[in-house]
Structures are given as structure tokens and as C-alpha cells.
A = this chain, B = another copy of it.
Amino acid sequence: MAEKFSFEIIKTDPETGARAGVFHTPHGDIQTPVYMSVGTQATVKGVLPKDLKEAGSQIVLANTYHLYMRPGHELVKKAGGLHRFMNWDRPILTDSGGFQVFSLAKLNNIRDEGVWFNSHIDGSKHFFTPEKVMEIENALGADIIMQFDECSEYGVDEKYAARALDRTAAWLERCAAAHANPEQALFPIVQGNFFADLRLKSLEYAKPFAKHGIAIGGLSVGEPKPLMYEMLDVLQPALPVDVPRYLMGVGSPDCLIEGVMRGIDMFDCVLATRIARNGTALTSKGKVVVRNAVYKEDFSPLDDECDCYCCKNYSKAYLRHLVNAGEMLSSMLLSLHNITFLNKLMRDMRQAILDGTLAEFRRAFYAKYGEN
């Protein structure tokens, strides 16, 4: 069973604990640290899979809640599974839908047994249990599947956070018992909100189930960044060493850097494609809001250090025109660029870990990128 997945650490940075590794999965190897592109509804918005590969994406995320709602996990299974359905032959990870049930859907009733909620699409009533979520994730067939968890909001009190944590721990046991497919690696999720002792307690619950990897959830949910880093600092010494560590929902360039420097191996975030659709690019010199008048006659590429299809072929003036004209191509080109940018950032960090130059890399990056 364990042979389908294994994690090789090539080098650990002695100063920070940052790791350069390779995660072997049934659909291929993932060089870590890695940023995972988000394809919630079985498509990374605006990017063809062939271009996603060209952009350097090694793995994509899809969402259990969304795909259960539409088109339904049974249909995806009949289609031959998610890889075939969405034409992505590299690794896939499915989120458990826990976060969406608690944030996107209309919550009805949280019980130890599971959660009643109403669909955000048509209001229909549904009941998710750990067993149900495993059934869905097994049907979807991603390489990496997440446990069903309760992600408590930023700002709840310790008592509520503790209860959510306990529920998450109990659900983990039930997920592990219900999950049977050795082709899929189940990752437990560490919760505990912003209480250090709860985080460590949650980690202890999760550890016995962290055979192939472990995730940290419930961060980047509205808190100040220093608070997120503090939680990562609390967890780092206690995290299992021999499996990949995944920081969920985190993906701005600075958070990726700070996460890697705290021993995180995997990240995902909708930021790259979401801001692309709003006309914003991530570049080595910081964010570029393409609509700004200053780019009207700027015939240079978005980022002269980038070799993506967008930067090789288009000027900021053209991209600005597309944004102003409401043309879909702007979302397509900016998504492609932003994903390429984050993938390159991760590759560069990996190389810096291997070269022992991570601190310099970080300094040089911020010096150019700024603090935005």
C-alpha cells in the first residue's frame, strides 16, 4: 500500500528547515516545494491543460464539494475518473469540501455525525459525513485526498475552536476507516484555529494518520500574516519529517516564501487565477494592475524575467486593451502568466535550498518585489 506514495527529501536547509524533495505519486513525481494550481470545478479557470503543463504545473487541485454538486461524483467515476474527465494526466489533489460546506454553502446543522447544509447553487439539502466524503473522493479518484474537517472561522473563541478540533479528529478516524483505495493518499488536516496549544493537540491527533502527508488547514482565513507565521512556527518543530507538509489555501508570493522557510512543502491558492481575471499580474517587480493608465503605451512585456507565452508575445498595452475591452483573452493570458510566475518562484526556491542560498534568495526577491 505504502509503495504507491513515497517522499524523498533531497536536502533540508539547516538554518530554516526548508526542504527540497520529490513526492512520488501514481501519476508522477512532484518536485517540492510545490505550488498547486486550483481547478475547483475540474478546470483551472481559463487555462488549457497543455498550457498548464507548459507553465510548469505539476499537480492541480479540484474540489469535492463543487464536483459532488455538479456534475456529481458518480458521473465523474463513470467518465473514468477525474484525470480522464478533465484531461489531466499528472497528479490531482481533492479538497474534502469541508471548507466549502462551512463557508460557501448555507450551513444548517453541524453535528458529530456530520453536517447538514444547503447547496449554494439550488438550495437543495445535503448531508456530508466523513464516510460520505470518502465515498465522493474515492469516486473522483484523485491521487491525494483530504479528510473531512471543520475549519473554524478566524475570531471564534477557544472553546468553539476546541470543539471543532475534536470533531475534526473524530472525523479523521472515520475517514481513515472508510477510505480503502491504496491508489489514493489520505492527508489528515491540522486545525486548532489560532490557539497554539490547540494546534499542537490537533497535530498529535493527526500524526498517526499522516502516512503519506499532512495538511495544515484554517490559516490564511482573514488573520494578519504574522499570526499565520506564528502558528507555523509553533507547529514546525512538531511536524512529521518524513512526509510532505501541505499548507492549505496559501499562495501569495510572500506567504509561499515564508511557508517554505517554515518547512512547508505544498501550497495551493486561487489567488493566481482570481487576480488574473481582475486584470492583475504577479511579476518579479511586484503586482501589476494592467488597467492602470500608466501602461497605456507600455509596449514592454509584463515581466522581462518571465518566459511564458504571455510575456514572450504580448505587451502591457495590449493586455490593458483586452482588459478594457472585456476580452476573455486577458484572463487567459494573465492566468497563464501568474501560474508560470508562482511555479517558477517555487522552482527557484527549491534550487536555492539545494544551493544553500535560501536566505539570499529571499532577500533578493523582496528587494525587487517589494512588500505588496
Could you tell me which A residues sit within 8 Å of B by CB distance? 41-43, 45-46, 48-51, 66, 70-71, 75, 78-80, 85-87, 296-297, 299, 309, 313-315, 317-318, 320-322, 324-325, 327-329, 331-333
Shortest 7 CB-CB distances between A and B: which pairs? A71-B321, A87-B313, A43-B329, A41-B325, A46-B328, A43-B327, A79-B299
Q: Beyond the given A48-B329, A48-B332, A87-B313, could you list 6 further A-B residue pairs with CB under 8 A, ordered by the A residue number?
A: A41-B327, A46-B332, A49-B313, A75-B297, A75-B317, A78-B297
Q: How distant is the Cα of A322 from the Cα of B49 in the complex, in angstroms? A: 14
Question: Using Cβ atoms and an 8 Å threshold, which residues of chain B touch A49?
Answer: 313
Q: How distant is the Cα of A328 from the Cα of B80 in the complex, in angstroms? A: 23
Q: How distant is the Cα of A41 from the Cα of B328 in the complex, in angstroms? A: 11
A79 engages B315 (CB within 8 Å): yes
Contacts A70-B321, A87-B314, A329-B48: A299 and B80 contacting too (C-beta < 8 A)? Answer: yes
B79 engages A318 (CB within 8 Å): yes
B313 engages A71 (CB within 8 Å): no
Question: Using Cβ atoms and an 8 Å threshold, which residues of chain B touch A315?
Answer: 79, 85
- Can you sample 19 A-B contacts with CB below 8 Å? A43-B322, A43-B329, A45-B327, A46-B328, A46-B329, A48-B51, A48-B329, A49-B313, A71-B296, A71-B321, A71-B324, A75-B297, A79-B299, A85-B317, A87-B314, A87-B318, A328-B331, A328-B332, A332-B332
Q: How distant is the Cα of A325 from the Cα of B314 in the complex, in angstroms? A: 30
Question: Using Cβ atoms and an 8 Å threshold, which residues of chain B touch A46?
Answer: 328-329, 332
Nearest chain B CB to A275 CB, angstrom units: 15
Q: How distant is the Cα of A45 from the Cα of B322 in the complex, in angstroms? A: 10
Nearest chain B CB to A331 CB, angstrom units: 7
In the complex, the count of this chain's copies comes to 2
Question: Using Cβ atoms and an 8 Å threshold, which residues of chain B touch A296?
Answer: 71, 75
Most buried by B among A41, A45, A51: A41
Q: How distant is the Cα of A321 from the Cα of B140 in the complex, in angstroms? A: 15
Question: Using Cβ atoms and an 8 Å threshold, which residues of chain B touch A299?
Answer: 78-80
Residue from B48, B317, B318 in contact with A309 in the complex, judged by beta carbons closer than 8 Å: B48
A79 engages B317 (CB within 8 Å): yes
B86 engages A318 (CB within 8 Å): yes
Residue from B70, B80, B318, B328 in contact with A45 in the complex, judged by beta carbons closer than 8 Å: B328
Q: How distant is the Cα of A318 from the Cα of B71 in the complex, in angstroms? A: 9
Q: How distant is the Cα of A317 from the Cα of B81 in the complex, in angstroms? A: 13
For A43, give the chain B residue with the smallest CB separation: B329
Question: Using Cβ atoms and an 8 Å threshold, which residues of chain B touch A51?
Answer: 48
Question: Using Cβ atoms and an 8 Å threshold, which residues of chain B touch A75?
Answer: 296-297, 317, 321
A50 engages B318 (CB within 8 Å): no
For A51, give the chain B residue with the smallest CB separation: B48
Nearest chain B CB to A153 CB, angstrom units: 27
